Structure 1
Amino acid sequence: MGGVFSYLLSWVAPGPVYDATPDPITGLSERDCHAILDTWALVSDRKSIKQNGVEFFIALFKAHPYLLAFFPAFKGLSDEEMRRSPGLRAHATSVMYGIKSYVGTVDDAETLAGLVTKTATSHVPRGVTVKDVENLAVVFLDFMKDALGSQWTPEAASAWKQLFAVHCVLYKKVQSELKPPELINGK
Protein backbone atom coordinates (compact mmCIF):
# COMPACT_ATOMS: atom_id res chain seq x y z
CA MET A 1 0.00 0.00 0.00
CA GLY A 2 2.85 2.41 0.87
CA GLY A 3 4.37 2.00 -2.60
CA VAL A 4 1.10 2.93 -4.29
CA PHE A 5 0.68 5.93 -2.01
CA SER A 6 4.26 7.11 -2.74
CA TYR A 7 3.70 6.72 -6.47
CA LEU A 8 0.46 8.73 -6.37
CA LEU A 9 2.04 11.37 -4.13
CA SER A 10 4.90 11.82 -6.60
CA TRP A 11 2.35 13.06 -9.15
CA VAL A 12 1.02 15.65 -6.72
CA ALA A 13 4.19 16.74 -4.89
CA PRO A 14 7.19 17.44 -7.08
CA GLY A 15 10.74 16.53 -6.04
CA PRO A 16 12.83 18.72 -3.80
CA VAL A 17 13.28 22.36 -4.67
CA TYR A 18 16.82 23.61 -4.10
CA ASP A 19 17.91 27.17 -3.60
CA ALA A 20 19.58 28.59 -6.71
CA THR A 21 21.37 31.38 -4.83
CA PRO A 22 25.13 30.98 -5.33
CA ASP A 23 27.44 30.81 -2.33
CA PRO A 24 29.42 34.08 -2.18
CA ILE A 25 32.74 32.23 -1.95
CA THR A 26 32.34 29.18 -4.20
CA GLY A 27 29.61 30.38 -6.54
CA LEU A 28 27.87 27.03 -6.00
CA SER A 29 24.16 27.04 -5.24
CA GLU A 30 22.33 24.40 -3.24
CA ARG A 31 21.05 23.08 -6.59
CA ASP A 32 24.66 22.87 -7.87
CA CYS A 33 25.77 21.01 -4.77
CA HIS A 34 23.04 18.42 -5.22
CA ALA A 35 23.86 18.03 -8.93
CA ILE A 36 27.50 17.37 -8.01
CA LEU A 37 26.57 14.96 -5.21
CA ASP A 38 24.05 13.08 -7.35
CA THR A 39 26.32 12.64 -10.38
CA TRP A 40 29.35 11.75 -8.28
CA ALA A 41 27.35 8.99 -6.58
CA LEU A 42 26.91 7.35 -9.99
CA VAL A 43 30.66 6.93 -10.61
CA SER A 44 32.08 6.57 -7.12
CA ASP A 45 30.60 3.48 -5.53
CA ARG A 46 33.15 1.26 -3.80
CA LYS A 47 33.20 -1.28 -6.64
CA SER A 48 33.71 1.16 -9.51
CA ILE A 49 35.71 4.08 -8.11
CA LYS A 50 39.07 2.40 -8.73
CA GLN A 51 38.26 1.40 -12.32
CA ASN A 52 36.72 4.78 -13.10
CA GLY A 53 39.85 6.45 -11.76
CA VAL A 54 42.08 4.35 -14.02
CA GLU A 55 39.89 5.06 -17.06
CA PHE A 56 39.97 8.76 -16.24
CA PHE A 57 43.78 8.75 -16.10
CA ILE A 58 44.02 6.85 -19.38
CA ALA A 59 41.78 9.51 -20.95
CA LEU A 60 43.90 12.24 -19.35
CA PHE A 61 47.14 10.80 -20.74
CA LYS A 62 45.60 10.42 -24.20
CA ALA A 63 44.37 14.02 -24.22
CA HIS A 64 47.56 15.44 -22.69
CA PRO A 65 50.48 13.03 -23.19
CA TYR A 66 52.90 15.57 -21.73
CA LEU A 67 51.40 14.81 -18.30
CA LEU A 68 53.06 11.39 -18.43
CA ALA A 69 56.28 13.22 -17.56
CA PHE A 70 54.90 13.44 -14.01
CA PHE A 71 54.47 9.65 -14.02
CA PRO A 72 57.61 8.05 -15.50
CA ALA A 73 56.49 4.58 -14.37
CA PHE A 74 53.54 4.72 -16.80
CA LYS A 75 55.37 6.15 -19.80
CA GLY A 76 55.30 3.76 -22.75
CA LEU A 77 52.61 1.52 -21.25
CA SER A 78 49.65 0.49 -23.37
CA ASP A 79 46.15 1.16 -22.10
CA GLU A 80 45.88 -2.49 -21.01
CA GLU A 81 49.19 -2.33 -19.19
CA MET A 82 48.02 0.84 -17.44
CA ARG A 83 44.80 -0.87 -16.42
CA ARG A 84 46.86 -3.65 -14.80
CA SER A 85 49.38 -1.30 -13.19
CA PRO A 86 49.12 -1.37 -9.38
CA GLY A 87 50.83 2.03 -9.29
CA LEU A 88 48.26 3.65 -11.58
CA ARG A 89 45.37 1.98 -9.76
CA ALA A 90 46.73 3.31 -6.45
CA HIS A 91 47.23 6.86 -7.70
CA ALA A 92 43.94 6.93 -9.62
CA THR A 93 42.08 5.68 -6.56
CA SER A 94 43.77 8.31 -4.40
CA VAL A 95 42.76 11.06 -6.83
CA MET A 96 39.17 9.80 -6.98
CA TYR A 97 38.99 9.81 -3.18
CA GLY A 98 40.44 13.33 -3.26
CA ILE A 99 37.62 14.37 -5.57
CA LYS A 100 35.22 12.57 -3.23
CA SER A 101 36.47 14.77 -0.38
CA TYR A 102 35.81 17.88 -2.50
CA VAL A 103 32.33 16.60 -3.32
CA GLY A 104 31.65 15.93 0.36
CA THR A 105 32.46 19.55 1.20
CA VAL A 106 30.83 21.42 -1.70
CA ASP A 107 28.53 23.09 0.80
CA ASP A 108 31.38 24.04 3.19
CA ALA A 109 33.56 26.64 1.48
CA GLU A 110 36.21 26.82 4.21
CA THR A 111 36.83 23.07 4.29
CA LEU A 112 36.77 22.85 0.50
CA ALA A 113 39.36 25.64 0.34
CA GLY A 114 41.49 23.80 2.88
CA LEU A 115 41.38 20.59 0.86
CA VAL A 116 42.28 22.34 -2.40
CA THR A 117 45.10 24.21 -0.65
CA LYS A 118 46.44 20.92 0.71
CA THR A 119 46.36 19.37 -2.77
CA ALA A 120 48.02 22.40 -4.35
CA THR A 121 50.70 22.54 -1.66
CA SER A 122 51.73 18.97 -2.47
CA HIS A 123 51.47 19.29 -6.27
CA VAL A 124 52.94 22.73 -7.04
CA PRO A 125 56.44 21.75 -5.83
CA ARG A 126 56.28 18.80 -8.25
CA GLY A 127 55.77 21.23 -11.12
CA VAL A 128 52.02 20.76 -11.58
CA THR A 129 50.65 24.13 -12.70
CA VAL A 130 47.16 25.57 -12.72
CA LYS A 131 47.15 25.02 -16.50
CA ASP A 132 47.71 21.30 -15.89
CA VAL A 133 44.78 21.33 -13.45
CA GLU A 134 42.62 23.16 -16.02
CA ASN A 135 43.49 20.46 -18.58
CA LEU A 136 42.62 17.79 -16.03
CA ALA A 137 39.26 19.48 -15.37
CA VAL A 138 38.30 19.46 -19.07
CA VAL A 139 39.14 15.76 -19.35
CA PHE A 140 37.28 15.01 -16.12
CA LEU A 141 34.14 16.73 -17.38
CA ASP A 142 34.35 14.74 -20.64
CA PHE A 143 34.92 11.57 -18.63
CA MET A 144 31.81 12.25 -16.52
CA LYS A 145 29.76 13.01 -19.63
CA ASP A 146 30.83 9.72 -21.24
CA ALA A 147 30.37 7.71 -18.04
CA LEU A 148 26.93 9.11 -17.24
CA GLY A 149 25.40 9.44 -20.69
CA SER A 150 21.89 10.86 -20.43
CA GLN A 151 22.28 11.32 -16.67
CA TRP A 152 24.87 14.05 -17.36
CA THR A 153 22.68 17.14 -17.51
CA PRO A 154 23.59 20.72 -18.44
CA GLU A 155 22.99 21.61 -14.78
CA ALA A 156 25.47 18.96 -13.63
CA ALA A 157 28.04 20.09 -16.19
CA SER A 158 27.68 23.70 -15.07
CA ALA A 159 28.00 22.77 -11.39
CA TRP A 160 31.13 20.68 -11.95
CA LYS A 161 32.66 23.45 -14.08
CA GLN A 162 32.10 25.87 -11.21
CA LEU A 163 33.65 23.45 -8.71
CA PHE A 164 36.76 23.17 -10.89
CA ALA A 165 36.81 26.95 -11.42
CA VAL A 166 36.96 27.41 -7.64
CA HIS A 167 39.64 24.73 -7.45
CA CYS A 168 41.74 26.52 -10.08
CA VAL A 169 41.45 29.93 -8.39
CA LEU A 170 42.62 28.47 -5.08
CA TYR A 171 45.31 26.38 -6.77
CA LYS A 172 46.64 29.45 -8.60
CA LYS A 173 46.86 31.33 -5.29
CA VAL A 174 49.00 28.58 -3.76
CA GLN A 175 51.05 28.35 -6.95
CA SER A 176 51.82 32.08 -6.85
CA GLU A 177 52.85 31.83 -3.20
CA LEU A 178 55.16 28.84 -3.74
CA LYS A 179 56.81 29.62 -7.08
CA PRO A 180 58.43 32.68 -8.58
CA PRO A 181 56.22 34.32 -11.27
CA GLU A 182 58.69 33.52 -14.08
CA LEU A 183 58.33 29.79 -13.39
CA ILE A 184 54.55 30.05 -13.27
CA ASN A 185 54.33 31.93 -16.57
CA GLY A 186 56.98 29.76 -18.19
CA LYS A 187 54.80 26.65 -18.26
Structure 2
Amino acid sequence: MNTLLITLAAYLIGSISFAVVVTRLLGMADPRTYGSKNPGATNVLRSGNKAAAALTLLGDALKGLVPVWWVQQYGMDYGIGDNGVALVALAVFIGHLWPVFFRFVGGKGVATALGVLIGLNGWLGLATLVTWLVIAYAFRYSSLAALVAAVFAPFYYGLLFGTDIKLLAVLVMSGLLVYRHRKNIANLIAGKESRIGSKKK
Protein backbone atom coordinates (compact mmCIF):
# COMPACT_ATOMS: atom_id res chain seq x y z
CA MET A 1 0.00 0.00 0.00
CA ASN A 2 2.81 2.42 0.87
CA THR A 3 4.49 1.77 -2.48
CA LEU A 4 1.23 2.47 -4.31
CA LEU A 5 0.65 5.71 -2.39
CA ILE A 6 4.15 7.08 -2.89
CA THR A 7 4.03 6.14 -6.59
CA LEU A 8 0.74 8.02 -7.00
CA ALA A 9 2.15 11.00 -5.10
CA ALA A 10 5.20 10.99 -7.37
CA TYR A 11 2.98 11.03 -10.46
CA LEU A 12 1.01 14.00 -9.10
CA ILE A 13 4.22 15.88 -8.29
CA GLY A 14 5.49 15.16 -11.79
CA SER A 15 2.24 16.54 -13.21
CA ILE A 16 3.10 20.05 -12.01
CA SER A 17 4.27 21.85 -15.17
CA PHE A 18 6.65 24.54 -14.00
CA ALA A 19 6.85 26.05 -17.49
CA VAL A 20 3.14 26.86 -17.28
CA VAL A 21 3.20 27.82 -13.59
CA VAL A 22 6.23 30.13 -13.86
CA THR A 23 5.05 31.91 -17.01
CA ARG A 24 1.59 32.47 -15.52
CA LEU A 25 3.04 33.90 -12.32
CA LEU A 26 5.27 36.23 -14.33
CA GLY A 27 2.46 37.30 -16.67
CA MET A 28 4.16 35.82 -19.73
CA ALA A 29 2.74 34.07 -22.77
CA ASP A 30 1.90 30.40 -22.35
CA PRO A 31 4.90 28.41 -23.69
CA ARG A 32 2.44 26.01 -25.30
CA THR A 33 1.52 28.76 -27.78
CA TYR A 34 4.92 29.54 -29.36
CA GLY A 35 8.17 27.98 -30.51
CA SER A 36 8.04 24.22 -30.21
CA LYS A 37 4.90 24.58 -28.05
CA ASN A 38 6.64 22.37 -25.53
CA PRO A 39 6.14 23.34 -21.86
CA GLY A 40 9.80 23.11 -20.93
CA ALA A 41 12.77 25.32 -20.06
CA THR A 42 14.24 25.38 -23.57
CA ASN A 43 11.02 26.69 -25.07
CA VAL A 44 10.53 29.22 -22.26
CA LEU A 45 14.04 30.48 -23.08
CA ARG A 46 12.75 31.33 -26.56
CA SER A 47 10.64 34.04 -24.93
CA GLY A 48 13.87 35.85 -24.12
CA ASN A 49 13.25 35.66 -20.37
CA LYS A 50 16.28 33.80 -19.00
CA ALA A 51 15.07 34.01 -15.39
CA ALA A 52 11.80 32.30 -16.28
CA ALA A 53 13.68 29.59 -18.15
CA ALA A 54 16.01 29.06 -15.19
CA LEU A 55 13.10 28.81 -12.75
CA THR A 56 11.37 26.32 -15.04
CA LEU A 57 14.52 24.23 -15.30
CA LEU A 58 15.02 24.27 -11.53
CA GLY A 59 11.41 23.40 -10.76
CA ASP A 60 11.24 20.54 -13.27
CA ALA A 61 14.54 19.12 -12.04
CA LEU A 62 13.63 19.36 -8.35
CA LYS A 63 10.28 17.63 -8.84
CA GLY A 64 12.20 14.68 -10.28
CA LEU A 65 14.94 14.76 -7.68
CA VAL A 66 13.00 15.16 -4.42
CA PRO A 67 10.59 12.16 -4.59
CA VAL A 68 13.33 9.80 -5.80
CA TRP A 69 15.86 11.04 -3.24
CA TRP A 70 13.28 10.74 -0.44
CA VAL A 71 12.26 7.18 -1.27
CA GLN A 72 15.93 6.21 -1.66
CA GLN A 73 16.74 7.61 1.79
CA TYR A 74 13.61 6.74 3.77
CA GLY A 75 11.67 4.19 1.73
CA MET A 76 12.93 1.20 3.69
CA ASP A 77 11.37 2.67 6.85
CA TYR A 78 8.00 2.21 5.15
CA GLY A 79 8.71 -1.12 3.50
CA ILE A 80 9.56 0.42 0.12
CA GLY A 81 12.54 -1.25 -1.56
CA ASP A 82 14.25 -0.95 -4.93
CA ASN A 83 11.08 -1.88 -6.80
CA GLY A 84 9.36 1.09 -5.18
CA VAL A 85 12.26 3.39 -6.03
CA ALA A 86 12.04 2.32 -9.68
CA LEU A 87 8.27 2.92 -9.71
CA VAL A 88 8.61 6.36 -8.15
CA ALA A 89 11.31 7.31 -10.67
CA LEU A 90 9.08 6.32 -13.57
CA ALA A 91 5.93 7.82 -12.05
CA VAL A 92 7.34 11.30 -11.56
CA PHE A 93 8.81 11.25 -15.07
CA ILE A 94 5.58 10.01 -16.65
CA GLY A 95 3.71 12.69 -14.70
CA HIS A 96 5.80 15.31 -16.46
CA LEU A 97 5.18 13.78 -19.88
CA TRP A 98 1.45 13.24 -19.38
CA PRO A 99 0.33 15.53 -16.53
CA VAL A 100 -3.15 15.01 -15.14
CA PHE A 101 -3.40 18.73 -14.29
CA PHE A 102 -2.82 19.84 -17.89
CA ARG A 103 -4.99 17.43 -19.90
CA PHE A 104 -2.11 14.97 -20.20
CA VAL A 105 -0.10 17.33 -22.44
CA GLY A 106 3.34 17.78 -20.92
CA GLY A 107 6.96 18.43 -21.71
CA LYS A 108 9.68 16.21 -23.09
CA GLY A 109 11.19 15.40 -19.72
CA VAL A 110 14.84 16.41 -19.97
CA ALA A 111 15.09 18.41 -16.74
CA THR A 112 12.87 16.00 -14.82
CA ALA A 113 14.89 13.03 -16.05
CA LEU A 114 18.07 14.74 -14.86
CA GLY A 115 16.47 15.28 -11.46
CA VAL A 116 15.49 11.63 -11.27
CA LEU A 117 19.04 10.53 -12.13
CA ILE A 118 20.54 12.82 -9.49
CA GLY A 119 18.01 11.44 -7.01
CA LEU A 120 19.16 7.92 -7.82
CA ASN A 121 22.83 8.86 -7.52
CA GLY A 122 24.71 12.14 -7.72
CA TRP A 123 27.53 10.72 -9.85
CA LEU A 124 25.02 9.26 -12.28
CA GLY A 125 23.31 12.62 -12.63
CA LEU A 126 26.62 14.45 -13.00
CA ALA A 127 27.88 12.14 -15.73
CA THR A 128 24.65 12.56 -17.67
CA LEU A 129 24.64 16.33 -17.19
CA VAL A 130 28.24 16.64 -18.42
CA THR A 131 27.27 14.62 -21.51
CA TRP A 132 24.38 17.00 -22.17
CA LEU A 133 26.58 20.07 -21.67
CA VAL A 134 29.34 18.82 -23.98
CA ILE A 135 26.95 18.04 -26.84
CA ALA A 136 24.92 21.23 -26.30
CA TYR A 137 28.06 23.38 -26.30
CA ALA A 138 29.51 21.65 -29.36
CA PHE A 139 26.37 21.62 -31.53
CA ARG A 140 23.97 24.16 -29.94
CA TYR A 141 21.02 21.79 -30.18
CA SER A 142 19.22 21.06 -26.91
CA SER A 143 17.36 18.14 -28.44
CA LEU A 144 20.52 16.48 -29.76
CA ALA A 145 22.17 16.88 -26.36
CA ALA A 146 19.13 15.33 -24.69
CA LEU A 147 19.10 12.38 -27.07
CA VAL A 148 22.79 11.64 -26.60
CA ALA A 149 22.49 11.98 -22.82
CA ALA A 150 19.45 9.67 -22.84
CA VAL A 151 21.42 7.01 -24.69
CA PHE A 152 24.36 7.26 -22.30
CA ALA A 153 22.39 7.39 -19.02
CA PRO A 154 21.63 3.63 -18.86
CA PHE A 155 25.23 2.90 -19.81
CA TYR A 156 26.46 5.07 -16.94
CA TYR A 157 24.06 3.39 -14.54
CA GLY A 158 25.17 -0.09 -15.57
CA LEU A 159 28.81 0.92 -15.29
CA LEU A 160 28.31 2.29 -11.78
CA PHE A 161 25.82 -0.19 -10.30
CA GLY A 162 25.39 -3.16 -12.63
CA THR A 163 21.99 -4.51 -13.61
CA ASP A 164 18.99 -4.18 -11.33
CA ILE A 165 15.37 -3.00 -11.38
CA LYS A 166 16.43 0.65 -11.25
CA LEU A 167 18.45 0.19 -14.43
CA LEU A 168 15.25 -1.00 -16.08
CA ALA A 169 13.54 2.19 -14.93
CA VAL A 170 16.37 4.28 -16.40
CA LEU A 171 16.11 2.35 -19.69
CA VAL A 172 12.36 2.94 -19.90
CA MET A 173 12.80 6.60 -19.04
CA SER A 174 15.49 6.98 -21.71
CA GLY A 175 13.28 5.25 -24.27
CA LEU A 176 10.36 7.56 -23.48
CA LEU A 177 12.61 10.60 -23.72
CA VAL A 178 13.79 9.55 -27.17
CA TYR A 179 10.16 8.89 -28.19
CA ARG A 180 9.13 12.37 -27.05
CA HIS A 181 11.88 13.83 -29.22
CA ARG A 182 10.78 12.05 -32.40
CA LYS A 183 9.81 15.34 -34.09
CA ASN A 184 13.13 16.85 -33.11
CA ILE A 185 14.90 13.87 -34.64
CA ALA A 186 13.08 14.51 -37.92
CA ASN A 187 13.94 18.22 -37.73
CA LEU A 188 17.59 17.45 -37.01
CA ILE A 189 17.77 15.17 -40.04
CA ALA A 190 16.06 17.82 -42.19
CA GLY A 191 18.26 20.63 -40.83
CA LYS A 192 15.25 22.50 -39.43
CA GLU A 193 15.86 22.15 -35.70
CA SER A 194 16.04 25.37 -33.67
CA ARG A 195 19.29 26.08 -31.89
CA ILE A 196 19.63 26.92 -28.20
CA GLY A 197 18.76 30.57 -27.56
CA SER A 198 16.82 31.14 -30.78
CA LYS A 199 13.85 33.46 -30.33
CA LYS A 200 10.22 32.41 -30.51
CA LYS A 201 8.36 32.76 -33.78
User: TM-score, length-normalised on structure 2?
Assistant: 0.30
Higher Cα Rg, which structure: 1
User: TM-score, length-normalised on structure 1?
Assistant: 0.31
